[in-house]
């Protein structure tokens, strides 16, 4: 094993504990996102993103991949997911892990019921607070690799 020497040091990190306001603004962001997604408003959800948007997934063979989506790519991809119509209900349990006041990774366990068919999913999002607003910048969920075009 080799050791490298560098003059760059990572920033000191004593850990960040979110304030009540941090949690409230994040909860409000997700309430708005869920409302837009439930209504099939892909444009509205895109307004909550920071582009280019990173997506990370894997395929059935276990091969991981990452892509960057432009707004147009996102609208095309998510249009097929959110814009499908049908009777949709969803419930989510989210666990935020704040890295700083402006960076949070949120793990979500969710259940979607579309036209009577229920599916459970787990995914993670990286949100960035910029200009005083939360924006989702990275979406991570397994299993989408076989569906990417």
Residue pLDDT, tens place only, 1-32: 566 676 777 787 778 999 999 999 999 999 99
Best CA proximity match to 25, nearest among 106, 82, 87, 89: 106
Q: Angle 46-51-56 (CA atoms, 0-180°, nearest 5)?
A: 90
| Complete domains list, the chain, with CATH | 20-140 (3.10.450.50)
Query: Is pTM beyond 0.95 here?
Result: no
CA 91 to chain centre: 16
Q: What is the pLDDT of residues 48-103, one digit of tens each?
A: 999 999 999 999 999 999 999 999 999 998 876 665 566 778 899 999 999 999 99
Q: Report d(CA 49, CA 17) in Å as an integer.
A: 24
């Amino acid at each position: 094993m080799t050791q490298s020497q560098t003059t760059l040091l990572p920033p000191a990190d004593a850990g960040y504990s979110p304030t009540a306001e941090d949690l409230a603004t994040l909860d409000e962001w997700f309430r708005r996102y869920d409302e837009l997604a439930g209504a099939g408003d892909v444009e509205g959800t895109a307004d909550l993103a920071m582009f280019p948007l990173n997506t990370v997934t894997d395929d059935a063979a276990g091969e991981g991949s990452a892509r960057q989506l432009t707004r147009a790519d996102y609208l095309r991809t998510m249009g097929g997911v959110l814009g499908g119509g049908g009777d949709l209900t969803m419930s989510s349990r989210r666990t935020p892990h704040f890295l700083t006041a402006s960076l949070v990774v949120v793990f979500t366990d969710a259940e979607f019921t579309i036209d009577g068919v229920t599916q459970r999913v787990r995914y993670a999002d990286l949100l960035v607070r910029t200009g005083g607003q939360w924006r989702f910048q990275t979406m991570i969920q397994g299993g989408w690799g076989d569906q990417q075009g």
